[in-house]
Amino acid sequence: MKLFPAIDIKNGQCVRLRQGSFRDVLVYSDLPLNVAKRWEASGASFIHVVDLDGALVGHSVNEDVIKDIVENINIPIQLGGGIRSIKDIENKLNLGINRVIIGTKAAIDPGFMREAISIFGPECIIAGIDAKDGIVAVEGWERLSNYNAVSLALEMKNVGVETIVYTDIAKDGMLQGPNVHYTEEMVVETGLRVIASGGITSLKDLEVLEEIKVHGAIIGKALYENKIDIKKAIKMFE
C-alpha cells in the first residue's frame, strides 16, 4: 500500500481544513516547500498536493508555491485543485507534476476524462471523488452533485480511468478514522485502484485500509499532529 503525505495549500500556506470547510482552517506552515522536504527526508515516495484556492475558484492559484516544491524535491507529486481543462493538465505536467487529480470537471463532464486519458495516458490522470454520505461534492466541496460516488467511479472506469482518490468529506481533518464501509464498497464495486483519503489517524487505520485492499492512503492532519510517524508507517506498509 502506497502512502501519500498531504500538503494542502491555501493563500500560499500549508493548512488543514476540517470537513473541507474553508471557514475552519488551521495553518501549519508558511513554507509548504519545507514541509515537502520533511516528508521527502522521512522516506516518502510520493507527495499529494492540493491547491485549495484553485479548487474553489476553478483555476490554479498557488502555482508559484507548487513550482517551488516541484523544483526542490526529487520524489513524484500528484496535484489536485482547480484543474479543469486540457491546457491546465498540460501546464501542470510541463511544470514537473507527475499526475493530476481531476475532481469537479470529472463529475460534470466524464467525456473530458476520456479525452484527457487519450492525450496524456491513464498513469497521469486520476479522478478525485469526494463524497459526503456517498454523494459526490464539487467546487471545493462547496456543492453536492447528483452523483452517487460508486456510480461516478464506474463511469470513470468506463472512460479509461484506472486510479481514483476517494475522500470522505465528513471524516476529513477530523482525526476520527476513515470511512471503511464506503471505501471498501468503492474497492469491491469498481475494481479500480483506490487511494483512500479522509480521517486516517493511526497505524491501526492504515492496517484496516490495507486489509480492504486499497491501493494507497493519503495522510494529512495525523502527520501534522504527530499521531502517525511517517517513517514507521512507510516501513510497515510500503
The predicted-structure confidence for 122-140, as pLDDT tens digits, reads as follows 999 999 998 888 889 877 5
Among 8, 51, 172, 205, which one carries the catalytic annotation? 8
* Rounded distance between C-alpha atoms, residue 156 and residue 151, angstroms: 9
Task: State yes or no: pLDDT of 174 exceeds 70.
Answer: no
Q: What is the DSSP string of 154-169?
A: HHHHHTT--EEEEEET
Residue at 152: amino acid letter: L
Judge whether 51 counts as a catalytic residue.
Answer: no
**Would you state the torsion angle of the CA atoms of residues 202, 206, 211, 214, taken in this order, to the nearest 10 degrees?**
150
Q: What is the pLDDT of residue 141?
A: 59
* Rounded distance between C-alpha atoms, residue 191 and residue 115, angstroms: 22
SS3 content of the chain, % helix, strand, coil (to 5): 40, 30, 30
Helices (H) and strands (E) in the chain, counts: 11, 12
Partners of 100 in beta bridges: 79, 125
Element of type H or E holding 64: helix 63-72
pLDDT band at 153 (very low <50, low <70, confident <90, very high): very high
Judge whether 130 counts as a catalytic residue.
Answer: yes
* Rounded distance between C-alpha atoms, residue 77 and residue 11, angstroms: 20
Q: Containing domain of residue 32, as a range? A: 2-237
Sign of the alpha-carbon dihedral angle for 113, 172, 216, 10: positive
* Rounded distance between C-alpha atoms, residue 213 and residue 173, angstroms: 23
Say if residue 158 is exposed, middle or buried (CB neighbours under 10 Å; 0-12, 13-18, 19+).
exposed
The predicted-structure confidence for 201-221, as pLDDT tens digits, reads as follows 999 999 999 999 999 999 999
* Rounded distance between C-alpha atoms, residue 2 and residue 136, angstroms: 24
Helix (H, G, I), strand (E, B) or coil at 48: strand
Could you give the number of structural domains in the chain?
1
Task: State yes or no: pLDDT of 14 exceeds 90.
Answer: yes
**Would you state the torsion angle of the CA atoms of residues 43, 45, 51, 55, taken in this order, to the nearest 10 degrees?**
-140
Among 51, 88, 130, 168, which one carries the catalytic annotation? 130
Q: Which residues contact 222 (CB under 8 A, 6 or more apart)?
A: 175, 200, 201, 202, 228
The predicted-structure confidence for 60-111, as pLDDT tens digits, reads as follows 899 999 999 999 999 999 999 999 999 999 999 999 999 999 998 998 899 9
CATH of the domain at 182: 3.20.20.70
Say if residue 131 is exposed, middle or buried (CB neighbours under 10 Å; 0-12, 13-18, 19+).
buried
Lowest mean per-residue pLDDT among 13-17, 128-132, 133-137, 174-178: 174-178
Lowest mean per-residue pLDDT among 19-33, 34-48, 150-164: 19-33
Could you tell me which of 28, 76, 74, 72 has the C-alpha nearest to residue 52?
Answer: 28
pLDDT band at 142 (very low <50, low <70, confident <90, very high): low
